[in-house]
Structure 1
Amino acid sequence: MTCIHRDHHGCLCDHFSKRYPNPEFEQRVCGPFMKFPVELIIRILTELDYEPLKACMKVSKSLRNVIKGSSVLQYHIQLFSRGFIDGTSSNPHLRTSAAKQRAFSNLQDSWSELLPRWESWLSPTKPVSGQKLTGGIWTTYESDGSEGPFISFTTLPSISRNIEIQERKIRLTSRLVDFAIDPSQDLLFLVEKSTASEAGYHWRLQFRTMSQNTPHPRAPKETIEYLPPDHAEEELIIQITENLIIILVILYNHEWDLEFTSLVIWDWHKGKHLVSYDGGLRVVSSFAHVTPSRFMLAEYFLFPRHLRKHDPHIRLALFDLRAKPDGTYQFVYVESLLFPPMGHLPDWGERKVTEFEIRSDPGPVITHDPPDHPSPFHLDPASRLFVVTLRLTDHSAVNFTSSWDFKFCIPFDTIIKAAPLAPSMSYQFQVPVTRYFTARNVCDAHDTLPPNISKKHVMPESASRILSTEPMGMDWAAWAQGGVSVLPLVEWSYFVFGMRCAGLEAIPGDDTHVELVILDFSPFAVSNHGEDRRVAGFSRTICYAGRLTDGRKIFDIDTDEEEGLSFVETRRVISHTSGVMMDSENILFLRYNAEHEGLQVSLDVGAWNL
């Protein structure tokens, strides 16, 4: 049957089910299916995603009645439209879909108003050496406790799961370089620095249980040894995804000049190294685990001080982790998402990239079946926002530093659209990898630096030669137009979870309060926003982000750009705080208080449960 409506060209549209119902068409398409028991029809429909469910409601009045009359399907539609997935039904008060739907609606309403249903203060702590919020657990590490170093776990309250605050400490035998947790696997991952040996310092990677602080039963090796190159200071960025431990190692010399970067991946379930990637002559400054096999790396060229006017060629490089026939793994280059070249302004001196970081949901990428997840509903990994922060500084003036900050908000869909996950899209390009060896006695593995290029400094001619031998990559206009927003707002303390970005902004003339700012990029929030609302101490408005053409002083852009992604901005005035973190149910506020005439600083953490 053909629709005569202009521009529809015979496609199914609302005319078949609303304005122009066609019982004959519906009987031919859906008649046999509707003879099944309603319970079976509902069970089949629950396997569909959001868009197919909407299509069913359009093409069939009978299916529309079934979907609208089913609390199970209405709950699934509500989840899908907001980028969530159904989870466990083990909570006694959430056994039915109707109960889950009420709990989910209440949670989303609290986010819309930024009104907590429960407030608390966590136990104050002394200066902490590390802090993380993962899976509803606030974790702090103190290296100088009165009884030695220890880690504290604070399970945050949850109205949806009907749990209260729970606190617990684990004593450690030595100080840590860094740590990470995955509550869904009861995994406590510790990185310790060993004493010096003939080969230098090496790190011990330990796999413990969070519940008992015992060797993890899934790890065939209690520890893995890793020997990095000689260095003075280190910075680690760690992410856990089921069987993968991913660490970006960034090393500096005594003058805090960047010496070495390497992304190293282990399979901790098998106790073996999979792959290392050091970026070649590029700096790898950050990474994001986009899908179980897809990684996105922030890369740029670092020039010597007297050559910093040159374009650093910043890019987001996409790689797939692939298994080879012999059982080993490799990084396969997929695509490069390029940013516009930087202009050469005569008033610029020693321009330098001081930050090029990808910020996203810090939790693990969920790849196991949803019923295994401890939450009654959790975020779909495809409903994620990546905020790329870029800071350029100029130190050439005496006693004065100029800086330019850009924040690029990039949804998951924009990345996948630019580089689909189909294997045929991957380009088999030989990527530079860190030389990795299996040690005989000292360590399980170590990375070595080739002679004469231990630093990441590169000359312009070398950068040009590298660029000429690589695939071209996608320029800014090809991948970012209409799919990326450039934010000029939110001053400090960025934190990203799902499709939301949280930050703090100062209030001019008020030193006792700040504005909590939540930016929601989810399509549902934008399409169902309604009218803007502003009252004393609160506002909720729809915004249209700036475009990179607003930064023409920095970037060479000749053509106008499409409008960036729209988002919903919610603001609420709160007492002064120094930092903010969040997950799907909680917002944490970090406040540092000076003690003993400023000689010591304590950390107070306030919690909103939404």
Structure 2
Amino acid sequence: MSALGDLASFPTETLLQIFEYLDGRDLVRCQRVCKALRHHIDQCSATQYVIRLAMCGYTDGTQSQGGGFSLIGARLNALEEHINRWKYLNWEEQRIEIPTRIPDCEVLVGGIYVLISQTIITCVQLPSKIRHIPLRAWSFENDFTVTALAMDPSQDLLVLLEIRQESEVSYLHFRTLSDNTRHPRVFATIPSGRYVRSHDIMIVGDTIAFHQYPSTFTWNWCTGTLLSEEFLDTHLGGIRWIGPKKLLGCRWGEGPSGALVVFGLDQDGNRREIVALDLPVRPSSAPRSFSCFLGQLAVPHPSGVLPFDSSSVYIIHLSGVDFRMPQDFDLVIPVSTIERYASDRYDGPFSVPWDVWASENTRVVPHSRCRQHRIFRNRTVRVEAGAQSRIKVLDFTPNLSVWPDSSHHRPSDARGVCYTKFVGRSESAIDVYPETFARTNLPYHESHRILETPLREPRSVQVDDENIVIADVSFPSWRGGRF
């Protein structure tokens, strides 16, 4: 009997049990084996749910909440609704009154919005109609003044930075997000160095990265083990975890032109890559702010190959740099370009001329009148100045409807990165950078990614999977929107 015949006679229940152990990549590969497998995968809500989760970069957080396999159809429908709300900017706006002063620091992760004003910690669980989550708020009185914070709601983890003025020493405290007590998994409070004004904290799993000029430290926060210390003799704009084994940071190096240095560390503290990019003009100062993420530019290939690796790009946003160009811009750098010039054996940064990077499809995308900017997962959100603020959501998510079989689907929407360009105060066109970075102008009606808000001068903008939260200048009101 042929292999196809063997597969056709295979019990459907057994196939579905096998599918439960496969991830999104493997399921797509199975679809390409034969029509029988493709039919089973296409008709199964569970496999479609896994595939769509993988493409969006999400994980299923409902297992710990109960419900089981019988709710998989509802979860798939909720995911599709979530995707469509981002795609078409189906914006549900509401105003949340938070009785607190203008916060010293704030963060939004996983639908939890935390604001700290002096010693008062205020937490808000933002509501979600899709996931049936109600609005809830709670607060704590802290025993020290918090200078910076980070959190991971999936671990019930809240990290607070304390700076003791008398000794000029800073400490990282690890608390529970639910009741602000010491986290049960933490070994000890970590002394993080002497007092400085520049700091950045990032968490991934058991590892925490903390930058405090001029060094970047990585610890296992559960054991208190110092994994690495990266000394940076120049200004660092920020650090970001871009994967379970990779830390990305940017700083300004020396050279005839401004140099943007990208380095990577794994969780064991080993250097993975360090590359310097010579910018076309020298800045007069280091950037005021920095953000970056590992994005997916390409639409899925008709062959069914998931675009997770070869088409990945670093999106690095820089603000407040005095170039002879707009002060806010994005660098779009293919991962393959960085890895081509990276070396595990090289101990120091080496310079790569800008024209070499440009030939590798790196792009500088300027922004005009950018007031606030946040990057999260596959989208970047900007608040533009003007008569009233305009929220621009630039979506990097691949089109889900075009894959994985070339015989039935063709890429109908080869969109990659969409940026709005301006002529004066009027919007004229959108520059589109698909997988090949080919530049194309689209008509005005494609500007549905733009949201209008009556806020003239928003104080801050925060973004996560489902929310855009814009803080008013006139405290204590925060305007929140959810997709």
TM-score using structure 1 length: 0.64
CA 1:297/1:165 → structure 2, altered by over 3 Å: closer, same or farther? Answer: same
1:384-442 deviation digits (Å, cap 9, x = unpaired): 86333154327xxxxxxx7642522547xx3266428xxxx8522335xxxxxxxxxxx
> 3-state SS of the aligned residue for 1:85?
coil
Which of residues 405, 423, 432 is equivalent to 1:544? Answer: 432
Q: Distance in 2 between matches of 1:314 and 1:564?
A: 25
Q: Is the 8 A contact 1:485 1:564 kept in 2?
A: no
Q: Which amino acid aligns with 2:229?
A: S
Q: Is the 8 A contact 2:78 2:131 kept in 1?
A: no
- Map residues 387-398 of structure 1 onto 2, 5 A cutoff: 387-389=316-318, 391-393=320-322
Which of residues 398, 401, 417 is equivalent to 1:523? Answer: 398
Q: Distance in 1 between matches of 2:381 and 2:149?
A: 24
Root-mean-square deviation (Å): 3.8
**Equivalent in the alignment of 2:206:** 243
> 3-state SS of the aligned residue for 1:351?
coil
**Equivalent in the alignment of 1:449:** none
> Are 1:112 and 2:41 an aligned pair?
no
Deviation for aligned residue 1:72: 1.5
Q: Is the 8 A contact 1:220 1:269 kept in 2?
A: yes
Deviation for aligned residue 1:205: 1.9
TM-score using structure 2 length: 0.79
Q: Distance in 1 between matches of 2:355 and 2:264?
A: 15
Which of residues 214, 220, 244 is equivalent to 1:292? Answer: 244
**Equivalent in the alignment of 1:68:** 42
Deviation for aligned residue 1:383: 8.0
**Equivalent in the alignment of 1:583:** 464
> 3-state SS of the aligned residue for 1:503?
strand
> 3-state SS of the aligned residue for 2:473?
strand
**Equivalent in the alignment of 2:221:** 268
**Equivalent in the alignment of 2:327:** 405
CA 1:113/1:161 → structure 2, altered by over 3 Å: closer, same or farther? Answer: same
Which of residues 56, 61, 72 is equivalent to 2:30? Answer: 56
Q: Is the 8 A contact 2:280 2:354 kept in 1?
A: no
**Equivalent in the alignment of 2:181:** 214
Q: Distance in 1 between matches of 2:165 and 2:125?
A: 34
Q: Is the 8 A contact 2:217 2:230 kept in 1?
A: yes
Q: Which amino acid aligns with 1:136?
A: G
Which of residues 274, 292, 297 is equivalent to 1:359? Answer: 292
CA 1:59/1:49 → structure 2, altered by over 3 Å: closer, same or farther? Answer: same
**Equivalent in the alignment of 1:318:** 264
> Are 1:574 and 2:444 an aligned pair?
no
- Map residues 341-380 of structure 1 onto 2, 5 A cutoff: 341-342=280-281, 351-355=284-288, 357-360=290-293
Q: Distance in 1 between matches of 2:325 and 2:147?
A: 30
> 3-state SS of the aligned residue for 2:472?
strand
**Equivalent in the alignment of 2:389:** 514
Which of residues 38, 41, 61 is equivalent to 2:12? Answer: 38
Q: Distance in 2 between matches of 1:485 and 1:76?
A: 35
Greater CA deviation, 577-586 or 134-143? 577-586
1:493-517 deviation digits (Å, cap 9, x = unpaired): 111111111112234xx3xx33221
> 3-state SS of the aligned residue for 2:286?
strand
Deviation for aligned residue 1:242: 1.6
> Are 1:189 and 2:64 an aligned pair?
no
Q: Distance in 1 between matches of 2:441 and 2:226?
A: 42
- Map residues 111-260 of structure 1 onto 2, 5 A cutoff: 111-117=86-92, 119-143=94-118, 149-196=119-166, 200-221=167-188, 223-228=189-194, 233-250=196-213
Q: Is the 8 A contact 2:463 2:469 kept in 1?
A: yes
Deviation for aligned residue 1:314: 2.2
1:315-372 deviation digits (Å, cap 9, x = unpaired): 32234443xxxxxxx43242415244437xxxxxx833344623349xxxxxxxxxxx
Q: Which amino acid aligns with 1:358?
A: S
CA 1:55/1:190 → structure 2, altered by over 3 Å: closer, same or farther? Answer: closer
Q: Is the 8 A contact 1:205 1:225 kept in 2?
A: yes
Q: Distance in 2 between matches of 1:484 and 1:405?
A: 16
- Identity among equivalent positions (%) equals 21
Q: Is the 8 A contact 2:276 2:350 kept in 1?
A: no
Q: Which amino acid aligns with 1:288?
A: R
Q: Is the 8 A contact 1:298 1:358 kept in 2?
A: no
**Equivalent in the alignment of 2:346:** 429
- Map residues 399-548 of structure 1 onto 2, 5 A cutoff: 404-410=326-332, 414-415=334-335, 418-419=338-339, 426-430=343-347, 471=350, 477-478=356-357, 481-482=360-361, 484=363, 486-489=365-368, 491-507=370-386, 510=387, 513-524=388-399, 529=413, 543-545=431-433
Deviation for aligned residue 1:237: 0.8
**Equivalent in the alignment of 2:59:** 85
- Map residues 14-33 of structure 1 onto 2, 5 A cutoff: 28-33=2-7
> Are 1:331 and 2:270 an aligned pair?
yes
Aligned residue pairs total 442
Q: Is the 8 A contact 1:126 1:603 kept in 2?
A: yes
CA 1:571/1:529 → structure 2, altered by over 3 Å: closer, same or farther? Answer: farther
1:235-267 deviation digits (Å, cap 9, x = unpaired): 2111111211211113xxxxxxxxxx2111221
Q: Is the 8 A contact 1:391 1:404 kept in 2?
A: no
CA 1:49/1:477 → structure 2, altered by over 3 Å: closer, same or farther? Answer: farther
Q: Which runs of 5+ in 1 are unaligned?
A: 1-26, 144-148, 251-260, 304-309, 323-329, 344-349, 362-379, 395-401, 432-469, 533-538, 547-560, 594-601
Q: Is the 8 A contact 2:106 2:149 kept in 1?
A: no
Q: Distance in 2 between matches of 1:81 and 1:210?
A: 29
1:61-101 deviation digits (Å, cap 9, x = unpaired): 21122122212222233333444333323265995221111
Q: Distance in 1 between matches of 2:431 and 2:66?
A: 38
> Are 1:609 and 2:466 an aligned pair?
no
1:508-554 deviation digits (Å, cap 9, x = unpaired): xx3xx33221100122279554999xxxxxx9x974159xxxxxxxx
Q: Is the 8 A contact 1:320 1:334 kept in 2?
A: no
1:96-117 deviation digits (Å, cap 9, x = unpaired): 2211111111122222232234
> 3-state SS of the aligned residue for 2:226?
strand
Deviation for aligned residue 1:217: 1.1
Q: Which runs of 5+ in 2 are unaligned?
A: 295-307, 403-410, 419-426
Higher relative contact order (CA 8 A, sep 6+): 1
- Map residues 273-284 of structure 1 onto 2, 5 A cutoff: 273-279=226-232, 281-284=233-236
The higher radius of gyration belongs to 1
